[in-house]
Amino acid sequence: MASTTINPTRMELTRLKGRLKTATRGHKLLKDKRDELMRQFLILLRKNKELRQKVELGLEQANAAFTVASAVMSPEMLESSLLYPKQSVELDVKTGNIMSVAVPQYTFKTQNTDPSEIYPYGFAQTSGELDDALSSLSGVFSDMLELAQVEKSVQLMAQEIERTRRRVNALEHVMIPDYQEKIRYISMKLEENERGATSRLMKVKDMMLAEERAKYEARRAEQETARRGTTA
Amino acid sequence: MSKIAVLGDRDSVLGFRALGLTAFPAADAAEAKAQLVHLAKSDYAIIYITEQLASELPDEISRYKDQLTPAVILIPGKAGTLGLGDDALQSAMERAVGANIL
């Protein structure tokens, strides 16, 4: 990609060499960053997969129990039993940091710490399946929260990795070859100029020598004729 | 302090109310979309949404992917899992690595 707009000067060459050095260094650093990000990402990804399976299984059980409960109880009854929850959850979001990617960290506080306090209804008029549904829901809840944290981190890290990967590739396949090409172009041009100057000097020297020789020959010839004239 | 929302059809989300989460029953995709946008603007840090609803609004969900809050997380609804949660994982991986490596 030797563009015709670059100046083949020594100053430009020094500047480009500096930029190539920076680009190479940046490339190496970014590559290291990408590798470490990828390692962390894979750990998170596996954890995410595990948690998701756990959560999906738990929710499936809860939903099954809930479906049975809604079959046994009338919809109004079901609605009114869950209308006013006893439990409330407050979520505290902090920002964590994985390889300078901001990731959320959740901690939650429940109002009631007693696990049996989650049933917001009297047991007389509700079916036992509803209890089952709620207990399996509350069992899976902490996993759900962790899943949210891990999954969000995975998404955010995927974005960062994509960006880093693009930068690494751009440096590796575009910027660095471009600089190298330009540097080669300039140094070749400079060498060419130098050779041009040398050969011009040689040519000038030749010409001057030839001139001197011609003068010398002429003088010799003159002296020769003068000598012949005196002897004759 | 942030809150947690659950978005989905009535039967899937009702149980979460007892846990202290805020349940938002949504009958159809249009309603869910409006609610999702509204929830994302208010102080809900996590929004769980059922896969059934999520399958109808992929654009809305991917819009929040690159933001720190809210975390939009798919959960299976009462009809069971559609595998969308796993798909989201795969797509995150493909985005990061460029290939499916697991």
The predicted model scores a pTM of: 0.81
Higher pLDDT, A81 or A165: A165
Q: Is B99 on the interface with A (CB under 8 A)?
A: no
Domain contains A60: yes
Top-level class of domain B3-97: alpha beta
Can you list the positions of beta strands (E) in B1-102?
3-8, 22-25, 44-50, 71-75
Q: Is A187 a domain residue?
A: no
**Residue A35 forms part of a structural domain:** yes
Overall average pLDDT of the A72-82 stretch: 79
pLDDT for residue A36 is more than 90: yes
Rounded distance between C-alpha atoms, residue A58 and residue A136, angstroms: 7
The better pLDDT of the pair B89, A203 is held by A203
pLDDT of residue B43: 84
Q: Which of A4-18, A201-215, B45-59, B78-92 has the highest mean pLDDT?
A: A201-215
Say which of B48, B86, B95 has its CB closest to residue A52: B86
H or E segment at A163?
helix A128-170
- What average pLDDT does this structure show over B79-90? 80
For an interface test with B, give the residue of A78, A155, A168 to mutate (most B CBs within 10 A): A155
Q: From B25, B10, B17, select the one nearest A87 (Cα to Cα).
A: B17
Q: For residue A212, is it within any domain?
A: no
| b/e map A133-168, b = 16+ CB within 10 Å | bbbbbbebbebbbbbbbbbbbbbbbbbbbbebbebb
CA distance B24 to chain A (A): 13
Q: How confident is residue A11, by pLDDT bands cut at 50, 70 and 90? A: very high
Largest CA distance in chain B: 42
- The answer to which of A2-6, A124-128, B40-44 has the lowest mean pLDDT is A2-6
Lowest mean pLDDT among A51-65, A75-89, B46-60, B66-80: A75-89
Q: Are strands B22-25 and B44-50 parallel, antiparallel or unpaired?
A: unpaired
By C-alpha distance, the chain A residue nearest B69 is A104
The answer to the question of residue A91 being in a domain is yes
Work out how many domains chain A is built from and give that number: 1
- The pLDDT mean for chain A works out to 88
Q: Which residue of chain B comes nearest to A111, CA vs CA?
A: B20
Count Cβ atoms below 10 Å from residue B85 Cβ, excluding itself: 23
Say yes or no for a CB contact (<8 Å) between A106 and B15.
no
Q: What domain range includes position A70?
A: 10-168
Q: Would you say B80 and A60 are in contact if contact means Cβ atoms under 8 Å apart? A: yes
pLDDT in tens, A139-155: 888 889 899 999 999 99
CB A44 within 8 A of CB A153: yes
> In chain B, where are the structural domains located?
3-97
Q: Is the pLDDT of residue A60 over 70?
A: yes
Average pLDDT over residues A121-131: 77
Q: Reply yes or no on whether the pLDDT at A51 is more than 70.
A: yes
- Which 8-state DSSP code applies to residue A32? H
Residue linked to tokens 């720190």: B68
Q: Which residues, in sequence order, are CB contacts of B101 under 8 Å at separation 6+?
A: B93
| pLDDT (0 to 100) of residue A174 | 94
How many angstroms from the chain centroid is the CA of residue A42? 15
Q: What is the pLDDT of residue A65?
A: 85
Mean pLDDT of A111-137: 76
Task: Residue A158: list chain B partners with CB under 8 A.
Answer: 92-93, 95-96
CATH assignment of the domain containing A82: 1.10.287.3240
- From B2, B20, B75, residue closest to A59, measured CB to CB: B75
Residue A1 lies in a domain: no
Mark yes or no for CB contact A134/B19 under 8 Å: yes
Model confidence at B76, in pLDDT bands (50, 70, 90)? Answer: confident
Above 70 in pLDDT, residue A56? yes
Q: Is residue A215 part of a domain?
A: no
pLDDT band at A229 (very low <50, low <70, confident <90, very high): confident
Share of chain B above pLDDT 90, in %: 2
Q: Is B41 on the interface with A (CB under 8 A)?
A: no
Asked casually if ipTM beats, i.e. exceeds, 0.95, the reply is no
Residue A204, in any domain of the structure: no
For residue A30, the model assigns a pLDDT of 95
